[in-house]
Amino acid sequence: MPEAQERGGPLSHIRVLDLSRIMAAPWATQILADMGADVIKVERPGAGDDTRSWGPPFLRDAQGEPTHEAGYFLSVNRGKRSLTIDMTKPEGQAILRQLAATADIVIENFKAGALARYGLDAASLRAVNPRLIYCSVTGFGQDGPRRDQAAYDFAIQAMGGLMSVTGERDGMPGAGPQKVGVPIVDLMTGMYATVAVLGALAHRAETGEGETIDLAMLDVQAAFLANQAMNWLVGGNTPKRGGNRHPNIQPQDVFACADGHLVLAVGNDGQFRKLCEAVGHPEWGSDARFATNAGRVRNNAVLTPLLSGAFADLTRDELTKRLDEAGVPCAPINTVPQVFDDPQIRHREMLRHLPHPLAGTVPQVVSPLRFAEAPLRFDRAPPTLGQHNAEILAELGLDAAAQADLAARGVL
């Protein structure tokens, strides 16, 4: 893979055959691509990944006209090469088996058992390539009573308990269950998939053996209920929506100031004492009701109005300055544009503009990973549909005439 090696990064020696679409598994393959892996994204001829059409907004070309590249697609497919293949055709299946034979990893998110009919399931491809790491991402896994059901992030947030602990508490304005503002189950599933295949790569390096990974979104959601799950398992009480209040640590909430709101995230008793001194009430820090975190949690109904009263006459900037100087964790509630105008985000170059064949450049929120010895390079924008057909097929030994024949028969 000469081109892949030129890209650099800790995975520049790895090839990934990406048979996934939408968000969860593509998030994983984008992480792998950011780390230098050669990711070949297989898409349906003429249509591509569903998310290409999930707009507006759509990327605009050099003339200001909208393209067919939706912002949703652009958020999750950086660094990949696009190959259009109709996997329902024997010729398409043969090409994918050729690619699997040279791949290190296959990631797919079809319904359980769906790829077996094409000979592209884990057993079939690992027969071709025993060292292959094959990761299947589904809503509910490869077995169990729900294995054949489709799943989307929103539904799993509901079914998996997340929405039962997200949203304003009953009796308050705006009360009711809420989903998280980004597709968090998809993103976390992608992260778990990345961890899983990297673990399998490490195991293969020691044993020479490939692996088959079964990853379910509902399992992921149950796993990252984290402290809320343990609150029930240990305490016996069903966790409920608490708005922005932390169930175990106080004061952690959204507070109003004279001209806006900020988040207060006190994490220990020392920080609480510093908070009290910063707002002119050092006596609260030694008050028996508030001196310990357990006391503040039990007496939060008393503490919150006291803090709200102390904050009410201070501007957000003034309060933030006082708390920052005192070493008390706090933060303004930024809009998305404000995030990318933050001097720290700008310094870290989290927003970059990559060359794009239609638009000239495309904005990308890049990986937060920083490697000193194998730095990441962001040099490949999310691909247009089939952009790399000729390149990839030539690597398999198919000349222009053979490619034209496949295209004429609807395989590409």
pTM of the model: 0.93
Question: Which H/E stretch holds residue 213?
Answer: strand 211-216
Tokens 């060359």 sit on residue: 355
Question: Which H/E stretch holds residue 306?
Answer: helix 300-311
Residue 345 has pLDDT above 50, yes or no: yes
Residue 5 has pLDDT above 50, yes or no: no
pLDDT > 70: what percent of the chain? Answer: 99
The answer to whether the beta carbons of residues 360 and 62 sit under 8 Å apart is yes
C-alpha–C-alpha distance, residues 130 and 244, integer Å: 49
Our answer to whether residue 186 is catalytic in this structure is yes
Q: Shortest CA distance to 135 belongs to which of 198, 81, 183?
A: 198
Selecting among 104, 186, 219, 253, the annotated active-site residue is 186
Confidence at residue 23, expressed as pLDDT on a 0 to 100 scale: 97
The average pLDDT across 127-134 equals: 98
The average pLDDT across 116-144 equals: 98
Residue 405 has pLDDT above 70, yes or no: yes
Tokens 């094959």 sit on residue: 134
Q: Quick one: how far is CA 59 from the chain centroid?
A: 21
Residues 272-317 have pLDDT tens digits of: 999 999 999 999 999 999 999 999 999 999 999 999 999 999 999 9
C-alpha–C-alpha distance, residues 373 and 350, integer Å: 19
C-alpha–C-alpha distance, residues 107 and 274, integer Å: 49
Q: How confident is the model at residue 247 (pLDDT cuts 50, 70, 90)?
A: confident
Question: Is residue 225 classed as helix, strand or coil in its secondary structure?
Answer: coil
pLDDT > 90: what percent of the chain? Answer: 96
Q: Is 57 exposed, middle or buried (0-12, 13-18, 19+ CB in 10 A)?
A: exposed
Question: Which H/E stretch holds residue 41?
Answer: strand 38-43
Residues 208-222 have pLDDT tens digits of: 999 999 999 999 999
Q: How far apart are the first and last CA of the chain?
A: 22
Residues 173-192 have pLDDT tens digits of: 999 999 999 999 999 999 99
Residues 25-54 have pLDDT tens digits of: 999 999 999 999 999 999 999 999 999 999
Confidence at residue 371, expressed as pLDDT on a 0 to 100 scale: 96
Q: Please, what's the b/e burial string for 114-140 (b: 16 or more CB within 10 A of its CB; e: otherwise)?
A: ebeebbbbbebbbeebeebbbbbbbbb
Tokens 């962001």 sit on residue: 378
Residue 134 has pLDDT above 70, yes or no: yes
Q: How confident is the model at residue 6 (pLDDT cuts 50, 70, 90)?
A: low
Q: Which domains does the chain have, with CATH numbers?
A: 2-223+348-408 (3.40.50.10540), 252-338 (3.30.1540.10)
The average pLDDT across 395-411 equals: 97
Residues 371-394 have pLDDT tens digits of: 999 999 899 999 999 999 999 999
Confidence at residue 394, expressed as pLDDT on a 0 to 100 scale: 98
Average pLDDT, whole number, for the chain? 96
